[in-house]
Amino acid sequence: MRWITRERPKIDRLACPWLIRRFIDPEAEIIFVQESQVQMKAQELDATPFDIPGVEYTHYEGRCTFDYFLEKYALIDPALQIIAPIVRGADIDDHLLASQAAGLWAISAGMAFNIRDDHELLAQGMILYDALYSWAKYLQRQKHTQSPTEKLLLQVLHTYEKPKKKAPVWVKELREMIQDQIDTNLSLSLKGLSENLSVNPAYLSREFSRYFDNLSFGEYIRKLRIEKSLQLLESTAYTLSEIAYLTGFSDQSHFNRIFKKQIGLNPSEYRKSWLKGKADTKG
């Protein structure tokens, strides 16, 4: 089957051909022409146009063409559902939809700047989206910079925080320093975000849940902390107290309470269950 779209692809016009070839039609032919010629060439070449106004396969209701392909062909692969908001955020310049959207846009724009031939660009785009799919399917919880930063924070903690009947003043200050440095995303305030975005804070607070899993700002931050704690419980031997510090909770008791509320098990029970499942799989 032939598909045709406008030339100089960047986001949707690379993501959609990748989706077509990987999940719809491996032998699909992708044609790039000037925007003014897409409709004419589509009839001439018996090709289906996409990602241009006025055709079936295009943007709709705030979503992009990639979203339409997923809906049209009922592609429910969880990894594709993870990729969808990344592609959408990069394509419509709403990088709040997914933290990876800004990176996808930067890489795609740089590729389009360096590669002038559209089919060569598509070939590189296939590699890019194959990699993004592998990340979405297998590697989401892996963190590249986890160990060095966390080890440094724990080293500072263990050096200065000794068991005492009454902790000195600097212990509280150290805890605050550690919490501030855990993760830039987790230290952001709604007020700070609104100032950076030049958006009214009341509006941002009201609209936040619409675009972030129907959660308030505070609920979303707690969700990120729990997600990081899951990764640490599964991939490290850190104590629960250490994980509480590394994920921004005030203490282990606070961590245990929020974790059980979200997951249904306390952290130690979750770790035991995960390790047992891992051992059973190996067996």
- If you average pLDDT over residues 65-79, what whole number do you get? 94
Q: Is residue 193 pLDDT above 70, yes or no? A: no
Residues 6+ apart with CB under 8 A from 31: 2, 3, 4, 5, 41, 45, 47
- Residue 214's pLDDT band, with cuts at 50, 70 and 90, is confident
- Residue 277's pLDDT band, with cuts at 50, 70 and 90, is confident
Q: Is residue 100 pLDDT above 90, yes or no? A: yes
Q: Give the Cα separation of 7 and 266 in Å (integer).
A: 54
CATH class of 146-282: mainly alpha
pLDDT at 170: 42
Please state, for a pLDDT cut of 70, what percent of the chain lies above it.
79
- Residue 146's pLDDT band, with cuts at 50, 70 and 90, is low
pLDDT at 202: 77
- Residue 234's pLDDT band, with cuts at 50, 70 and 90, is confident
**Helices and strands in the chain: count of H runs, count of E runs:** 15, 3
Average pLDDT over the chain reads 83
pLDDT at 200: 76
Q: Are strands 48-49 and 29-33 parallel, antiparallel or unpaired?
A: unpaired
Q: Is residue 225 pLDDT above 80, yes or no? A: yes
pLDDT at 108: 95
pLDDT at 16: 98
**Structure token digits, residue 184:** 């830039």
Residue ranges per structural domain of the chain: 2-139, 146-282
Residues 6+ apart with CB under 8 A from 9: 17, 32, 112, 118, 121, 122, 125
pLDDT at 283: 57
* Residue with the larger pLDDT of the pair 154 and 96: 96
Q: What is the pTM of this model?
A: 0.54
- 8-state DSSP, 182: S
Q: What is the pLDDT of residues 14-50, one digit of tens each?
A: 999 999 999 999 999 999 999 999 999 999 999 999 9
pLDDT at 24: 95
pLDDT at 178: 39
- If you average pLDDT over residues 180-207, what whole number do you get? 62
